[in-house]
Amino acid sequence: MRTRPLPLLALATVGALALAGCTAGADDAGDSATPVEGGTLTYATGDAEPTCLDPHVGGNYPQALISTQYAESLVSKDADGEIVPWLAESWTEASDGLSWTFTLKPDVTFTDGTPFDAAAVAANVAHVQDPSTLSSTGYLALAKVTGVEAVDDLTARIDLSTPDSALLESLTQPWLAMESPEALQRPQEVNCESPVGTGPFVVDSWTKQEQVELSRNDDYSSPPADADHTGPAHLESVVWRFIPDSAARYAALQAGQVDVIDNAQPDTLVAAEKDDAISEIDAPRPGASNRLELNSGKAPFDDERVREAFITGVDVDDAIDSLFFGTAERSYSALSSVEPLAYSDPSLFEVDADAAGDLLDEAGWTGRDSEGYRTKDGTRLSLTFPVSTNQSIPAEQSLFEQIQAGAKSLGFEVVLQPLDLSSWYGALATDDYDLVSAPYTKVGPDVLRILFDTSGITPAPSGYFANHAQLSDPALDDLLTRASQTSDADERADLYQQAQQIVLESRTVLPLYDQQNHYLVRSSVTGVRALPPVQAVTLYDASVTG
């Protein structure tokens, strides 16, 4: 949800099919060698450069990627999806579900020397919830939190307005990581330049449009429970470079100028499969699938017949196959395939162009203008589709062009508007869209509440709203509310399945594939892994062996 301080949307991530011979597990790459102490690792990202390194501000995926190196969460998830200790050693839920009490690790300090304690937890929650912080992802995740009580130095109680079955999942996310309360008191622009966490690395400098330099925290003592070692990081330093061009990024990896890259493109993944000096980490992000959302809040998609015509009339399967070279598998779900409670219904997305045409006729779009587009009362059937060039990889942008061509044969004009991230957010904020692809990463099925509950049409303090389909259905809201409150696993699963059925049957969502999230790592590097909560890479266990 997002680098103008907006949510993570950032999102974009990964194809579900692994490339044989090249693909390491979603957790690590090159772990067989003995770690080497010292050295510098250079990481090259193709995601948009954050406008703020503090993940509380806004909350997008580029922030998650880099902040994972210096800021830590109360809890984490392991490869099996279990919540595991991080800055909190243990936790208990009150019998009424209205509070959670966390016992914190002792003797942990932020890198400015400030103690990590219950008061720090309270300060961080307050910072995320403060409207002036302009948080989106973290703010939405903490919607039910009414405050934090410091029971004693190492005991923090988080109080809730109603039970929250997703609270632990939410607290694993980088956008709710802990930062020094002393540092948070600085002006926001200062904290954005040099946030202070408890993590294995420290932000030394940020040269805009070039790189961020990180150095090892020699006093580090608080890795998550599933880390491969304890104590300080093996690496002495990290250089985090911004290389937006995918070809240049891969060429730098091949030449040994960088050690790890993200946002690897489909053709690059195919090439890397043949290179023994490079391995892949295939790490699909949790939360929502990559999907097109149809704005049901205004014409023409306020008419369900028009929405159904678009969704069933345009064939996206062949385009996904040809453009992604088998690195992305078609999705029929609103949720990522890595979400255990994801529900799919391929039957809702069977292509039938003739039936789609009949639906448009029924809806009154019976005329045709000189360019072949359908018309109604002299108005062309035109759709505005802003595209974030920072979040949509080139293959995805080509997919949108093929969707545009397929829609034209039905009589839809799709106007693609390539925009930088700030302008893209602006188009959403002013309701200047009919179609949008807006990736959203959140741990667990509670992402459905953020994306499709009626309340999601109301903007967060940052100005961002997540319900781009502008879906407003009281029955759906009720299901999502009950699912968010129940602690019964079977009931929760049933409620979320019912909710997903409503979302898919509303014809406001056209699922495409999991968010693409591929990392390529040189064989001279060991210990790189994708941290399970949101699959952001962590360099804590990494070392450079040659």
Q: Kindly state whether residues 210 and 229 are assigned to the same domain.
A: yes
Domain that holds residue 96: 23-284+517-544
CB 334 within 8 A of CB 503: yes
Q: Kindly state whether residues 116 and 31 are assigned to the same domain.
A: yes
CB 427 within 8 A of CB 417: yes
Query: In 3D, which of 103, 118, 69 has the Cα closest to residue 220?
Result: 69
Mean pLDDT of the chain: 93
CB 22 within 8 A of CB 521: no
How high is the pLDDT of residue 32? 53
Q: Looking at the domain assignment, is residue 15 inside a domain?
A: no
Query: In 3D, which of 128, 201, 214 has the Cα closest to residue 460?
Result: 128
Q: Looking at the domain assignment, is residue 3 inside a domain?
A: no
Mean of pLDDT values over 232-255 = 96
Sequential DSSP letters for 392-431 = S-HHHHHHHHHHHHHHHHHT-EEEEEEE-HHHHHHHHHTT
CATH number of the domain within which 461 lies: 3.10.105.10
Interval 140-165: pLDDT, tens? 999 999 999 999 999 999 999 999 99
CA–CA separation, 125 vs 106, rounded Å? 20
Q: Kindly state whether residues 75 and 143 are assigned to the same domain.
A: yes
CA–CA separation, 544 vs 546, rounded Å? 6
Length of the chain (residues): 546
Six-digit token pair at 415? 């106007």
Query: In 3D, which of 27, 22, 34, 521 has the Cα closest to residue 259?
Result: 521
How high is the pLDDT of residue 29? 61
Q: Kindly state whether residues 264 and 306 are assigned to the same domain.
A: no
Q: Kindly state whether residues 521 and 481 are assigned to the same domain.
A: no
pLDDT at 15 over 70: no
CA–CA separation, 212 vs 208, rounded Å? 8
Query: In 3D, which of 447, 436, 260 has the Cα closest to residue 338?
Result: 447
Q: Looking at the domain assignment, is residue 279 inside a domain?
A: yes
Query: In 3D, which of 293, 331, 321, 332 has the Cα closest to residue 440?
Result: 293
Six-digit token pair at 142? 């903490």
| SS3 of residue 298 by DSSP | coil
Q: Kindly state whether residues 240 and 309 are assigned to the same domain.
A: no
How high is the pLDDT of residue 33? 64
Write the CA distances from 416 to 260, 368, 404, 413, 515, integer angstroms: 32, 21, 8, 10, 20
Mean of pLDDT values over 236-259 = 96
Q: Which of 29-33, 129-133, 350-354, 392-396 has the lowest mean pLDDT?
A: 29-33
CA–CA separation, 175 vs 63, rounded Å? 8
Percent of the chain's residues with pLDDT above 90: 88
Q: Kindly state whether residues 354 and 251 are assigned to the same domain.
A: no
Phi, psi dihedrals of residue 500, rounded to the nearest 5°: -65, -35
Q: Could you say which DSSP state residue 20 is in? A: T
Q: Looking at the domain assignment, is residue 10 inside a domain?
A: no
- Beta bridge partner(s), residue 102: 91, 156
**In which band, very low, low, confident or very high, does the pLDDT at 11 lie, cut at 50, 70 and 90?**
very low
pLDDT at 7 over 50: no
pTM value surpassing 0.85: yes
> Where is mean pLDDT largest: 33-47, 192-206, 381-395?
192-206
Interval 264-323: pLDDT, tens? 999 999 999 999 999 999 999 999 999 999 999 999 999 999 999 999 999 999 999 999
Sequential DSSP letters for 177-193 = -B--HHHHTS-HHHHHH
Q: Looking at the domain assignment, is residue 27 inside a domain?
A: yes
Q: Could you say which DSSP state residue 79 is in? A: T
C-beta atoms surrounding 442 within 10 Å: 33
CATH number of the domain within which 80 lies: 3.40.190.10
Q: Kindly state whether residues 485 and 341 are assigned to the same domain.
A: yes
**In which band, very low, low, confident or very high, does the pLDDT at 452 lie, cut at 50, 70 and 90?**
very high
Q: Looking at the domain assignment, is residue 54 inside a domain?
A: yes
How high is the pLDDT of residue 254? 96
Q: Kindly state whether residues 509 and 521 are assigned to the same domain.
A: no
Q: Kindly state whether residues 233 and 151 are assigned to the same domain.
A: yes
How high is the pLDDT of residue 232? 98
Interval 491-543: pLDDT, tens? 999 999 999 999 999 999 999 999 989 999 999 999 999 999 999 999 999 99
Q: Kindly state whether residues 86 and 40 are assigned to the same domain.
A: yes
Q: Looking at the domain assignment, is residue 2 inside a domain?
A: no
Interval 83-95: pLDDT, tens? 999 999 999 999 9
Interval 343-366: pLDDT, tens? 999 999 999 999 999 999 999 999
Question: For residues 7 and 237, which has the higher predicted lDDT (pLDDT)?
Answer: 237
Six-digit token pair at 328? 């992305």
Q: State how many domains the chain has.
A: 2
Q: Kindly state whether residues 301 and 349 are assigned to the same domain.
A: yes
Interval 390-419: pLDDT, tens? 888 889 999 999 999 999 999 999 999 999
Query: In 3D, which of 44, 527, 29, 24 has the Cα closest to residue 238?
Result: 44
pLDDT at 8 over 70: no
Six-digit token pair at 512? 């495409």
